[in-house]
Amino acid sequence: MLITLIRSIILYILVLIVMRLMGKREIGQLQPFELAIAIMIADLATIPMSDIGIPIINGIIPILGLLVMHLLISYINLKSMKIRGLICGKPSILIYRGRIDENVMRKERLTINELQERLRANNVNSISEVEYAILETSGQISVVEKPEKRNLKPEDFNLKPEYEGITYDLVVDGVVMYDNLKILNKDYNWLKEELNKYNLKPENTLIATIDGKNEFFCQEKNTKKGKD
């Protein structure tokens, strides 16, 4: 039992490292070759994990081999558009200038109902609102709505919104984010002074953030334990 546990932990860590090295794509954004490698890695890991009679190295070597294959194919994809087209395929235009291309729909084996479902996932209620719908190589559908159906933007009114930037965490659950303070050219003493305005200390702070407009936000930790 202990041996099985140790083997499982080793393989889990290995698979975790390999998947991390493969990149940060979501499952729905994987290219076909990436999805195939991910499935094969999962299968290879389960065999030595469940059968202690099989040397663990028999699972480790194929997994590392697949990682090398993934990195190699990814490199080739970056260097050659022709090979990229062969491996990953090309986007298909399902709706062109407001009209559904039935030939492309048949080629991609998509029904009208499936198309409508994908459009609703893009917050589009009707095909009549779509100017272009493109089936990407990842299997996702990108939608370009007709001009009169698009949401208005500030530039439509000749307005220029203020720069917002991004929000940085300064304290999370009582832990000071020193790396973020460094990025902002701030220090611990500055943070203490800001929190002191709200009668807080870093260790008693649930969350403290600052956004691109230098607006500071914080909330005290709830130190009272709830009763059942």
User: Residue 135: its pLDDT value, please?
Assistant: 92
Cα gap 28→41, rounded to integer Å:
17
* pTM for the model: 0.60
50 SS3 class: helix
Cα gap 11→161, rounded to integer Å:
50
- Describe the strand order of the beta sheet including 141-145 as a list of residue ranges: 99-100, 92-96, 130-135, 141-145
**Rounded to the nearest 10 degrees, how much is the dihedral formed by the CA atoms of 59, 61, 63, 64?**
160
pLDDT over threshold 50, residue 120:
yes
pLDDT per position as a tens digit, 99-109: 999 999 999 89
Q: Which domains does the chain have, with CATH numbers?
A: 2-86 (no CATH), 92-149 (3.30.240.20), 168-220 (3.30.240.20)
pLDDT band at 126 (very low <50, low <70, confident <90, very high): confident
Q: How many CB atoms lie within 10 A of CB 103?
A: 8
Q: In the chain, what are the helix, strand and coil shares in percent, each to the nearest 5? A: 50, 15, 35
Cα gap 25→177, rounded to integer Å:
26
